[in-house]
Amino acid sequence: MRNIALLAATCLILLTACNSKNKKETNTIEFKNVNQRIAKSFSDLKRLDTFKIELTGRKPEEMVLNFTIRNADGKEIYNTKIKGADLLGNTDPNVDLSKEKDQIVFLKTIANDFFSDDNFLEPAVMPEDKADQYTPDKLLYEELKKSGLNGFKYRLGKENNIYIAWSEKEQKVKIYYNCC
């Protein structure tokens, strides 16, 4: 009888330990890096460039969003690294990001939505568009009107979108608009 009571107590302890471990795991986020590619016309209207986004790191303060564009020949024409901490610091103050779990979900959402159709601008500048105070390079803006090349926009924060396009004249990707 004593052995049965000891066995029952041991089983109860093990069962409780296993259940508490399982509950703990369901509250954690399964970590999986974001790594996406998409082919779109950008530096040449007849050939496709490869856009790649990769989110690395396990903790929000260590996470980095690495964005690159390679032309049809495989040459890297654009690369920027955006720190997760910068994206978190420039977000809407009404969004509650006080918990690490919510910060990770937020950063993954930004990375997963990076290549949404709304961010590919075809063409970058419409012929009737006019440059304004958010146009850092008026000559590039006019060049894009004539070339009809496509643009891409991405966000750095709540009120900061970067618009980039290929400059045929300078043979590089440049910011042509920076606004809300």
User: What is the tens place of the pLDDT at every residue in 22-34?
Assistant: 444 444 444 567 8
Please name the residue ranges forming H helices in the chain. Answer: 2-26, 84-89, 100-112, 138-147
Average pLDDT rounded to a whole number, residues 94-112: 89
Rounded to the nearest integer, the mean pLDDT of the chain is: 85
